[in-house]
Structure formats: structure tokens, C-alpha cells
Amino acid sequence: MERSPHMSSQEFRDAGKRLIDWLADYYDEVERYPVLAQVAPDQIRTSLPQEPPQSQTEFAQILNTVNSKIMPGITHWQSPNFFAYFPANSSGASVLGDLLSSGLGVQGMLWATSPACTEVEMLVLDWLVKMLGLPETFLSSGKGGGVIQDSASSSSLCAILAARERATGFRSNEYGCREELVAYTSTQAHSSIEKDIKVSGIGSRNLRLIDVDANFAMRPESLEKVIEEDKLAGKLPFIVCATAGTTSSLAFDPLEAIGQICKKHNLWLHVDAAMAGTAALCPEFRHIHRGLELADSYCFDAHKWMFTNFDCSCFYVADRETLIRSLDVLPEYLRNQAAGPGAVFEYRNWHVPLGRRFRALKLWFVIQHYGVEGLQFLVRRHVEIAQTFLKWVRNDSRFEVMAPAPLNLICFRLNASDEVNEELLQRINRGGRLYVSHTRLNGKYTIRFCVAQTNTELPHVQRAWHAICDEAAALLNARRV
Ligand code: PLP
């Protein structure tokens, strides 16, 4: 090879500018694409060369292929017409923070391998305690602290592992689970809890799904009854995973009552506020966390609603020693001067992976760019727009609202069969003007409409409502003929 195959710094500079321009154009024009990718399975893979290139490809050519072959397979999560699932919203500030993290290429597995990676993370997670009005027990200056995980699923897994060790006096780490440990969550909890229970060796047979009230919130009296039955049967109840904002309907489990039960029976309380936690930026929505001071751990995903691109799940514990002791393994090759007990935070002991990206940078960029007031303004606006949408649904007798909608998720359906509602959802998404997803509430097929994409404004929701009404009218007419 005559010349180095690496990008020269000039090539990197030129290509980087082109890519930022490309992204800026994309954000400007994102509404021109159908929100949900309209491709058949395997279409993208088979449209690309099946053999790897032997020689170098020009950057311009790579971008051309992105435009022609990759973009058709993109579902546009950053479209303001994305109302499906919970969002994975983003922002310019976040993307640039993430780019800086990639560019620095830091692997922050130890404090010593990049002290700033650890210390900015500690700082930003302490900021968030104050910004969301979380209990002070989660501050790093006390016995607790926060850490960024890749996802809420991983955050909950770590909570379960720490709770398992606390309940067994750290014996399950040494000998495996001997006791029959039992965990509790509601029927409405996210599926990640069940997955975590499987991964942690507890066994899904030992996960109790507690029933919920008419608002889809866990019934504390049912929880206590089941815990008592398990104790009588000689089992070891060890954790309750409560949810602040369930995936299906954004229901809020009563944390205060659940927390009291956990204290009484000596169970770990983990609170999963994956999407809704961000609402607590606004003091008027902090009631969603009432009782959180009784929790041993908590997580919310900044990558859902807080304008920070995936992945960025913020996980807190009130007693970091239990978490660290549960996950600590220190081989000789990781020993270093700073690694003396408690001298600095060693985040490798706060989650499963050893290696870690400098994810705090994007969060730090976001918080500085918007400021607390900017973030509050955006969250309030999303809630206000969602509440306007709720009124439109309520005032249209063809539809029914399926769950309380205190924030930014509206669950509704046509007053018709499940089959009709399923067809309505498919028609809406095929149309490409917006993207919604579904769930099942009280056994009924339900459409979910979540307002949380970065650039969603009232006109987007107005157009979405018209599109939904048009599709509903066309569907009902077609069925009448
Ligand atoms: N918990 C709740 C309440 C959720 O809604 C979700 C995803 O939507 C998760 C956990 C899982 O999130 P993640 O993808 O960060 O693991």
C-alpha cells in the first residue's frame, strides 16, 4: 500500500463538516420521510453489496450509499411526528457531546483511565438529583450516588443483584442462590424486570406479578398479602420493583405505601421511572415521585424524554456500598494507585460491563445548553400539547380514552372491535404521516400516543389528530359498505 489507509486530519475535517451538514439537513427535512420505515424484511441487507470492499471507498460514496440504501430502512425517531412507544429523543447539544465522547475515544473503566470521565459523571448525576428534586440520599456526597447505565433494563438488573446480595448477606455471590428468593412487581411493569429476574438467577417462577387498581397502579394491600404468604411458605422476599410511569399507560405505583411495606418486611425498593422521571424537572409534576425517599434505588432514562440521545439511563442507589460490594471484582491487572478503598468512585463496580464510554459528556452538554429553565419549558410544553390532544379524543364520541393521562401519554381506541382498532393502527402507520404504537388495557387493543419528541409542537399533533380521524372515518365507511 503506497499511502496510509487512515483518514488524514484534513480528510477528517472535511468529511466531518459534511456529515454535520448532512445531519443538519436531515433534521430540517425529517418530516419529508414516512415516519415508519416502509420496507420489506431483508430489503436493506440485500440491497447492499454482499462482499466487503477490498479497496478503500471514498467518503462521498459512503454518504451516497447512506442516502440511497440505508435511509429507506430508517424509522424516524427524530421526527416530530413520532408518537410511538416511549421516545428516544435527542438534540443538537447531545449529539455534539456524544461526538466529542467518540472523538476523545476514552474508555473510562477506572478513575485513572480518565479521571474526567468519572468525575463529570458524578457531578452531572448530582446535578440531576437537585434538578429532579430526588431524595438527597442519592447524592454522591453522602452514602449514595448515581451512575449512567446503558438502559433501564441494566439499571434494574443492578438493583436486583444488589438486593439479592443484601438479602443473602452476600452469600449468593459466593455460593449461588440457595434461598428461594422472591421478587415483586406489578402486572403492568416493564418486561425488562422479568428479563432481569431471569438473568440474575432468581428465576421467573419467583417473580410475583401483583394486581393493579382501576388506574393500573399496583395494589399495596395485594402486595403485602402475597409477601406474607411467601414468608409463611419459607421463602425469602427480597425486592419490590415499582414503576413511576408504566409503559402501557403511564400508571404510577403508590410509592409511599409500597415503601412502608418494604421497610416493614425488610425488602429493597427499586423504582423504575424510565420515561416519566424527566417530568420531575418541573416542580408541579414532582408528585410522581412521592414516597421515593423510601427507595433503595431509582432509575430514569435521560435518553427517553430529556433530549439526550440513546443511551443514557441514570441509576441511583441510597447505599452505594451494597451495590459496589455486590459487583466488585479486582484482578491484579486493574490495580492502580487510586484504587484504594473509597478513594475515588470506580464505576466499573456499579454495573456489569468493565469498559465504559464517556456518556456523561452528552448529558453535561444538554444541561448546559438548555439550562434547567429551558428543559422545564420543553417538558411543560409537551404535557400541555398532550393534554390538548386528550381533550380532542374525549370530545369525539367515536373514541374512548382507556387510562388516566396525567402527563404526555394518551391511551385511546375507537369504540369498535379489537380487529378494527388493529386495522386503524396499521392504516395510520402505513400512511407515514405519523407513527403510533399499541398496547392492551383491560384486555382491549389500545392505541398509545406519546408526545415527547424533541421538536413536536401543537401543529404536529393537530395534523396527527386529523390523520387519525381521516383513517378512522375511511375505515368505518369501508366497513359499512
Ligand atoms: N422501564 C419502563 C417503564 C419502560 O417504559 C422501558 C422502555 O420503554 C424500560 C424500562 C426499558 O428501557 P430500556 O430500553 O432503557 O432498557
Ligand 1 probe mutation, 190, 271, 288, most atoms within 8 A of CB: 190
350 in Cβ contact with 313 (< 8 Å): no
More confident residue, 179 or 438: 438
CA angle 178, 147, 185 (to 5 degrees): 45
- Mean pLDDT within 131-148: 97
- What local confidence, expressed as pLDDT, does residue 340 receive? 58
3-class SS at 390? helix
Tens digits of residue pLDDT in 188-213? 999 999 999 999 999 999 999 999 99
Ligand 1 probe mutation, 150, 185, 192, 255, most atoms within 8 A of CB: 192
3-class SS at 90? coil
What residues does ligand 1 touch, defined as CB less than 6 Å away?
Answer: 86, 151-153, 190, 192, 243, 246-247, 272, 274-275, 301, 313
Q: Of all atoms in ligand 1, which is nearest to the CA of residue 245?
A: 3
478 pLDDT tier (thresholds 50, 70, 90): confident
CA of 342 to the centre of ligand 1 (A): 31
Ligand 1 probe mutation, 82, 85, 86, most atoms within 8 A of CB: 86
DSSP one-letter code for 69: I
Taking CA atoms only, the protein residue closest to ligand 1 atom 12 is 152
- Mean pLDDT within 280-289: 98
CA of 241 to the centre of ligand 1 (A): 13
- What local confidence, expressed as pLDDT, does residue 341 receive? 60
DSSP one-letter code for 446: E
- What local confidence, expressed as pLDDT, does residue 190 receive? 97
Q: What is the pTM of this model?
A: 0.96
277 in Cβ contact with 301 (< 8 Å): yes
- What local confidence, expressed as pLDDT, does residue 332 receive? 81
Place of cell 447512506: 66
CA of 152 to the centre of ligand 1 (A): 5
- What local confidence, expressed as pLDDT, does residue 474 receive? 92
Taking CA atoms only, the protein residue closest to ligand 1 atom 14 is 151
What's the half-sphere exposure (Cβ side, CA atoms, 13 Å) at 204?
A: 8
CA of 192 to the centre of ligand 1 (A): 7
